[in-house]
Amino acid sequence: MLLKKNIFISSAFILMSLGCQSTNQNDTDNGVETETSTVTKRPVVEIPEEENPVAQEESKPSNWYIRIVAEDPSRSLKTNSAQLGTLEATDAVVKHTLISNGRFTGPYLDVVFVDPDGVPAGAYKTNYHMHEEGVEDRWRFTVQTNDTAAEILLTWDGLYTLTPYIDDKNREQYKEYRSLTNPLIDHMKLVDVETGKEIAASSDGKVQTYVFNMDGLNEREFEWVVKNEVVNLPLPKGNALTLKANNIQKDEETVITKKSVQRAELFDLSKPPVFMD
């Protein structure tokens, strides 16, 4: 009996010793947890900047596009199918400037490029051209509606950078990536041709929205300009944003917060843009 008692005591002592050597063991004494051992902190491993994708700055793309977005909140009308951009391809104007098939019999709101250079006269939904280094890029477009008293919200969606590749049928295709942090955005502005007002595409990292009235007209002309230098413009005076305009900005900021660069599906420039709400 004495021998069995000594064996039991020795075994219990060994188990207690092993328990005290655990690196993350917690004991509970009267409901209070106490640390029974010191946990060694792991060394912090710093990722070199050149290997850290978050630390890398985006470069200005050679192939890109944006969507012009127009909205008439009072009639729940919206269009975002007009696209403008630059492509390195020499046949960019002829091949990728697509004609508009819009035919309206009732209330309507549309954005088109009227008589762009390099194609037959008419209204087009896309307008691409080659970028000439050191030269300012300009695209003129028209907002059209049947309501001559409408208040329109004008903004943009993008920037979409395009990466060309050759598919398995030896055709040139593009993959698109959406980026709201690309430095090219800081070089963009919107110009109201009739009033001369200018608004930066982005201010303090926020997409800007221009609010205007049709002022008795069915069409209003605007220009999208990409300058060589960074655009630094204040918001136009008296251009207070409505609730709808603020919601547009909020949606874009949410995208920035979730992901600064988003990969999209295959982008086919040979097909007309699809109307999307």
Q: What is the 3-state secondary structure (H, E, C) of the chain?
A: CHHHHHHHHHHHHHHHHHHHCCCCCEEEECCEEEECCCCCCCCCCCCCHHHCCCCCCCCCCCCEEEEEEEEEHHHCEEEEEEEEEECCCCCHHHHHCCECCCCCCCCCEEEEEECCCCCCCCEECEEEECCCCCCCEEEEEEEEECCCCCEEEEEEEEEEEEEEEECCCCCEEEEEEEECCCHHHHHEEEEECCCCCEEECEECCEECCEEEECCCCCEEEEEEEECCCCCCCCCCCCCCCCHHHHHHHHHHHHHHHHCCEEEEEEECCCCCCCCCC
Average pLDDT over residues 154-173: 89
- Confidence (pLDDT) at 164: 86
**pLDDT score of 267:** 52
pLDDT recorded at residue 231: 92
Is residue 204 pLDDT above 90, yes or no? no
> Do 204 and 251 belong to one domain?
yes
Does position 167 have pLDDT exceeding 50, yes or no?
A: yes
Q: What is the pLDDT of residue 104?
A: 79
Instruction: Kindly state whether residue 58 falls inside one of the protein's structural domains.
Output: no
Please list, in sequence order, all residues whose beta carbon lies within 8 angstroms of the beta carbon of residue 54, skipping any fewer than 6 positions away. none
| Residue 275, domain member (yes or no) | no
Please give the pLDDT value at position 273. Answer: 56
Same domain, 43 and 69: no
* pLDDT for position 103: 73
Most confident of 89-103, 127-141, 220-234, 237-251: 220-234
Question: Once rounded to an integer, what is the mean pLDDT over residues 263-268?
Answer: 46
**Are residues 78 and 38 part of one domain?**
no
Indicate whether 184 and 251 sit together in one domain.
yes
Shared domain for 103 and 212, answered yes or no, is yes
| Mean of per-residue pLDDT scores for the chain | 74
pLDDT at residue 165 greater than cutoff 70: yes
pLDDT the model gives residue 235: 64
Asked if the structure places residue 273 within a domain, the reply is no
- In the prediction, which pLDDT does 268 show? 58
Report residue 271's pLDDT band, with 50, 70 and 90 as the boundaries: low
Token pair, residue 112, equals 């088109």
In a domain, 276, yes or no: no
- 217 and 150 in a single domain? The answer is yes
Domain of residue 29 covers 2-51
pTM: 0.67
21 & 95 share domain: no
For the chain, the domain total comes to 2
Shared domain for 37 and 160, answered yes or no, is: no
The answer on 127 and 40 residing in a single domain is no
Higher pLDDT, 82 or 37: 82
pLDDT in tens, 215-235: 999 999 999 999 999 998 876
The answer to whether residue 274 sits within a structural domain is: no
Query: Which one has a higher pLDDT value, 248 or 69?
Result: 69
Q: Residue 21 falls within a domain, yes or no?
A: yes
Q: What pLDDT sits at residue 276?
A: 43
Check whether residue 44 and residue 125 sit in a common domain.
Answer: no
* 128 and 263 share one domain: yes
- Whether 193 is in a domain gets the answer yes
102 inside domain: yes
Residues 39 and 158 occupy one common structural domain = no
The residue-averaged pLDDT of 44-52 equals 41
